[in-house]
Structure 1
Amino acid sequence: MTRQSVWRLTLEPMGVHVAWSLLHTDGTAPATAVGGGVMRDTHDAAASAFAIAPQRSADGQLDLHRNILVDPIQERAAATLLGARLLPPALRDGLLEPGRHQVQIAARGWLANVPWEAVTVDDRSNTRLIESALLVSAMSPGIAVTRARSAPPVDCSLPGLAIVDAGPAEDSVTGESAIYPGRLPPELVGGGGLTAGEVVAPGKYSMSAAAAGKALAGQAWSRLLYLGHVTAGRPEEPAAAALVFQRHGIRDPLTAGMWLADPARWPAPARVALIGCGSDDARFTEASGLPVAAINAGAQLVTCTRWTLPSDRLQAAGLPATQLALAVHRAHRSESPITTLREWQLGRLQAWKADPAPEASPLYWAALTSYLASGGDRG
């Protein structure tokens, strides 16, 4: 039988330094401490992590040409630096040993902006963390223990609910516009994508936050895919993060605070995907953002995004953001969602190594992070 190793790496920022601890178990005994301490002189790592989020040009548009993740030379340099500075040597050495490895990463602050899947484990072979292990993001066990409700165990035969582009077609205040103006692209619906019956808010058609709650509570769902605009939280108020809906053409946000306060109104199925602009909230000290709200409302697995995803309209080739959403959708309807998603990410990594085109860059596939609630979906 292939040996299974589970590693838990916890990292907390201390200015530009990092406090860390590393636990390990082979599944036959409780986890034991491997090491811990403070990683010093990580200013370059912090600067690289901050530079990963897409930058905006003078007119407010995302500028892909200024992002280090779409430049193969800069991306590899950043991946090597982050791996060397943030992965303890014991973990790097352990992941090179034969066997199956899972790495649980609990990272907050600027460390949550690190594209962990893409960081380098072995510099000489350019081996990335996603190639060495199955990755999940770790959340405080107390969040699942104290949750308001728990969804029934996942039944992949049940339909999924997809809420797509639910916000206003144009918002003069925020400058947001429909992701898919006019209609949903054929790549998204049909032909292995979403089915027409599970898409409840296509394109410009109105859906309010209340209507989303009625849809969620109206029947048993195996999964929820939200694909649309996300309003980021604030350091002093992470619960202000919101999924963007509309009511009579006016912005109607569902904030994490609202979802946390009334989970019965927006009950979450076992698997939830929140694909939008930086739907993860781990960069804030307080855990009260959208992933926490989804778990509190019943989710066992939540997949979200670390940073803003450029619209497909900014790309010259392909529909990388749409393909990313579909990869998550396919993974969440499989028996092993995190393993299935990892297989897609490995394919994108190989494409990036072979032909570093922007649509294959870690800007997309390394933006994803998945949380598993304790005792829930095994992934």
Structure 2
Amino acid sequence: MHTVHLTYADAVTTYFSWRAAGSGDVLTARLIPAQMDALRDSFPCTLPDIHPGEGAADALRRTFHDGAFRSPQDTWTYFSQLGAMLIPQQLIALLRGAGRSRLIIRPSPSLAQVPWAVLPTHPDGRLLGELADVVLGVPDSVRALAGAPHDGDADLMVIDPKIPGQPPTGPLGSVLGRPVDTDPLAPLVRPTTLPAADTYSGLARVPMSRQEFLASSARAGSLLFVGHVSAAGEETASAESSTLHLSEPVTAGDLLRAGWRAPRRVGLIGCSSGSDLRYPEPFGLATAAVACGAQTVVASLWTLPTEATLPAGMHPLRELVLATDRALQSADPARTLLDWQLAKARAWFSTGAPADNPAWWAAPALTERAPAREVRVWNARPHHRRNHDH
């Protein structure tokens, strides 16, 4: 498989470069400030993140009724604009001619919420995830800390953990509702599931302490967390205070200091669980997992709406959970997740059904730690830069 690197950096202007692994030819380009200003302004208008002075209902109304996710046509226009701005034609031509490729993207903080894999490419309109296996790269500072992965024989499931003192409908209450054994998430219960459970109602809404989480992680080959995540405050420079809500809050910094032995594959399904790269110091929950041994992490780029406002029988959040679980169990996690996202994209652009809204399926991104051999190839040869405006 061919590997191609695409890297962005913010300065006064945002610059980016791309190259094929093993090649000394590096191409560079820049985004003009007016483009970047428009792009930055588009995220608060489109994504369901709650802004200061806003309530949850306001954010949902803006996302589903006012912004680019209100209709397939608006989504296609918005994603096409992002693709035309951010993905150079030379890179698209390289991917088309390379056969199966892995595209490793390292976005700058201003581009950390871009749903790269589902952006249309020009001129034929194929989605980027159809041309390559799109993954996010690990920052060099995190890769330098990363511990060796370990293999466990269990699948750790932390599904909507109950938080003491929080009512089910409160701000830190249930994200999935009262568990019943016929829930679509019932397939998560299997012989390898940890904590052991015979039914879905015995697995979901179970309290889990920090120590139980750390001890169970050391026995597991995969972790699937579904629940509340609090992203670091926008006023901070670091994502270290991003918080996983178990029976008590646990920050990314807490996990690192506790010597967390993260499973080889980790799925974090919570609001902005993958927001690490939005910060100048990109050390949040997803990157903490990598630093603590994970090789593959699936996490959300923005706030995930619940299903509470949808008609009965529509389960987009549960579909995302099951798709993440399939990816974690797959021989090829990146391709498995991408194939699901592409299928959901085709459904949305075809019918516009509420359960196919991109607020759910476009949110997850897969971060992958590159093998050491690949890193050496990237640094081994001199860079010959060619400058392009884009």
TM-score, reference length from structure 2: 0.83
Return 341-350 or 222-231, whichever deviates more: 341-350
Identity of aligned residues (%): 26
- Confirm or deny that 1:295 pairs with 2:290: yes
Structure 1 residue aligned with 2:384 = none
Give secondary structure in 2 for the equivalent of 1:239: coil
The 3 A distance-change label for structure 1 pair 142 and 347 is same
Structure 1 residue aligned with 2:107 = 107
Superposed, which structure 2 residues align to 1:1-379 within 5 Å? 4-14=1-11, 17-25=13-21, 29-30=22-23, 32-42=25-35, 43-54=37-48, 59-61=55-57, 62-63=60-61, 64-97=64-97, 99-123=99-123, 125-147=124-146, 149-152=147-150, 158-168=153-163, 171=166, 175-184=171-180, 186-190=183-187, 193-195=188-190, 198=193, 200=195, 202-217=203-218, 219=219, 221-235=220-234, 236=236, 237-246=238-247, 252-263=248-259, 266-280=260-274, 281-316=276-311, 317-375=313-371
CA contact (8 A) 2:108 2:278 kept: yes
Structure 1 residue 103, shift from structure 2 partner: 1.4
Q: Could you tell me how far apart the structure 2 residues matched to 1:350 and 1:182 are? A: 31
The 3 A distance-change label for structure 1 pair 30 and 197 is same
Give secondary structure in 2 for the equivalent of 1:8: strand
The 3 A distance-change label for structure 1 pair 37 and 182 is closer
Q: Could you tell me how far apart the structure 2 residues matched to 1:339 and 1:275 are? A: 18
Structure 1 residue 111, shift from structure 2 partner: 0.5
Structure 1 residue 197, shift from structure 2 partner: 5.9
Q: Could you tell me how far apart the structure 1 residues matched to 2:281 and 2:49 are? A: 25
- CA distances 1:232-283 after superposition (whole Å, capped 9, x unpaired): 112414111011012xxxxx111001012122xx311110111100011111
Structure 1 residue 321, shift from structure 2 partner: 0.8
The 3 A distance-change label for structure 1 pair 91 and 319 is same
Structure 2 residue aligned with 1:249 = none
CA contact (8 A) 1:45 1:81 kept: no
CA contact (8 A) 1:50 1:113 kept: no
Structure 1 residue 40, shift from structure 2 partner: 4.2
Q: Could you tell me how far apart the structure 1 residues matched to 2:368 and 2:55 are? A: 39
What 5-or-longer segments of structure 1 have no aligned partner?
Answer: 247-251
Structure 1 residue 199, shift from structure 2 partner: 5.2
Structure 1 residue 359, shift from structure 2 partner: 1.9
- The aligned amino acid for 1:282 is L
Structure 1 residue 31, shift from structure 2 partner: 5.2
Structure 1 residue 315, shift from structure 2 partner: 2.1
Q: Could you tell me how far apart the structure 2 residues matched to 1:231 and 1:170 are? A: 17
Q: Which has the higher contact order (CA 8 A, sep 6+)?
A: 2
Return 65-74 or 277-286, whichever deviates more: 65-74
Structure 1 residue 204, shift from structure 2 partner: 3.4
CA contact (8 A) 1:9 1:22 kept: yes
- CA distances 1:185-233 after superposition (whole Å, capped 9, x unpaired): 621013xx4437625384433222222112223x3x2201111110111
CA contact (8 A) 1:12 1:18 kept: yes
TM-score, reference length from structure 1: 0.85
Give secondary structure in 1 for the equivalent of 2:4: strand
Matched residue count: 355
Give secondary structure in 1 for the equivalent of 2:78: helix
- The aligned amino acid for 2:239 is P
Give secondary structure in 1 for the equivalent of 2:129: helix
What 5-or-longer segments of structure 2 have no aligned partner?
Answer: 196-201, 375-390
- The aligned amino acid for 1:321 is L
Give secondary structure in 2 for the equivalent of 1:312: coil
Structure 1 residue 373, shift from structure 2 partner: 1.4
- The aligned amino acid for 2:328 is H
Structure 1 residue 324, shift from structure 2 partner: 0.6
Structure 1 residue 174, shift from structure 2 partner: 7.5
